[in-house]
Amino acid sequence: MQMYTDGERVFISRNYRVEGISKKDWIEKGERRVVWQSAKLSETPTLLTNTRFYLFGAGATYLMRMDRRSGQTDEIDFEKEIVDITSDLRDVYFVTHEGIYKLDAERFEKAKIERLAVSDILEKPIRTLDLVGDYLYVSAGNWLYKIKKDGEKVMEKALADVRKILADHEGPVVITEDKVIYFTEELDTMANGFYEGEYIKAEHGAYQTYLLSGTHFSVFGRTGERIAHVEHEHYKTFTEGLNHIYYYDEEEGDLTYAFKRDLLGDNFVNIDLVDTIALIFASLMAVEKAGHRVRIKEKRGFIDVNVNHKHVDMEKVFLVLSKYFPEVFYLYKNPGYYDEIDNFAQKYDLFVKEGEEVKLNLDLLEKFSEIRQDFKTLKEDIVKDIVALSG
């Protein structure tokens, strides 16, 4: 069994199927409406992750791909135990105990799976991975590795007893058998905290790390301090939304959710997805108003940004802005939220077409830039960082 989420749905895998449940109906109406259900699978996924259009799952040896809108399902029997999985907008990375593998989300064929050659020089067994920007962070043997996505090993650090690696815009968050450790991009330790019980699952969002063990559900801040915890005997798994936590309650045999504000108290930060997306495009507006050429294209469901005649990866824009507005990191870490950018653009007439080119609606974005009082203060630094992405 496993749970995951995107902007509109909570996903749960159980009994050889995956269901997508409407968040809006559940939270606003108290109705758990199943939007779609996958075909019966060869294995129940124990790992879930999103790309731009698909929910990917992994069981023991099977890799599954489900269309997030319809639930249409495909499977590959990889014939080796899959122990962890992660993704970005376009690609899926997964590990067995002996190798790191990459698959283009649109080319879901066993023959298209690529084994990264760097796997051969890593200590074994390989246990877990996550990615941020151009890098994979991988735990293998008693080492933590930083590896370029094209397969070049960059650095390593001795670290034993790792259970899970999670991505943050500042570097990896590593869960060991009893610690939560926050690292920089250079693998220097920034902070750590301790937890009790046997590790079950962890997720990391914009501000906190959520960790379920055999005895507690804990929340850690970036200083390593455990800022909230709940003793439990009956949560089997969970997933983090923007303002809610969704659980599977084994005692009740059912799904439930909790408001983050009830769990976090004064540490709670409300995240409005519309405001968050507005900040992204208001930042691009600031680049244009500073005298730089900015053009936007949408091609096959992906938004391409061109700054000063050079392509800028939208995911890298997310990462740059996460330094200033941590909530933007959700759009990077979970590509399932990318649909909400399209919804935002259509609802607010974000793009203005001039001939064959598409420009930003600057009048609209000027209003959105006033959402955050600190935007004007940060604007100059934001512009410099985004322009730097264009080389």
pLDDT 10s digits, 133-145: 999 999 999 999 9
Half-sphere exposure (Cβ direction) of 299: Cα atoms closer than 13 Å = 7
pLDDT per residue as tens digits for the range 12-34: 999 999 999 999 999 999 999 99
Mean per-residue pLDDT over the chain, rounded: 93
Under 8 Å CB-to-CB from 320, ≥6 apart: which residues?
382, 385, 386, 389
Judge whether residue 40 has pLDDT over 90: yes
If asked whether residues 16 and 131 sit together in one domain, one would say: yes
Judge whether residue 319 has pLDDT over 80: yes
369: containing domain: 273-389
pLDDT at residue number 172: 97
Total domain count for the chain? 2
If asked whether residues 107 and 252 sit together in one domain, one would say: yes
pLDDT per residue as tens digits for the range 361-372: 777 777 777 777
If asked whether residues 382 and 252 sit together in one domain, one would say: no
Tell me the C-alpha distance between 288 and 65, whole Å.
Answer: 39
If asked whether residues 79 and 219 sit together in one domain, one would say: yes
Q: What is the mean pLDDT of residues 317-339?
A: 94
Buried b (16+ CB within 10 A) or exposed e, 312-334: bebbbbbbbbbebbbbbbbbbbb
Among the candidates 267, 300, 333, a domain finishes at: 267
Q: pLDDT-based confidence at 376, cuts 50/70/90? A: confident
If asked whether residues 377 and 299 sit together in one domain, one would say: yes
If asked whether residues 330 and 202 sit together in one domain, one would say: no
pLDDT at residue number 353: 66
Can you read off the two tokens belonging to residue 297? 């294209």
If asked whether residues 233 and 286 sit together in one domain, one would say: no
Q: What is the mean pLDDT of residues 172-201?
A: 97
Tell me the C-alpha distance between 292 and 308, whole Å.
Answer: 6
pLDDT per residue as tens digits for the range 115-133: 999 999 999 999 999 999 9
What type of residue sits at position 79? E
pLDDT at residue number 215: 93
φ, ψ of residue 41 to 5 degrees: the values are: -100, 160
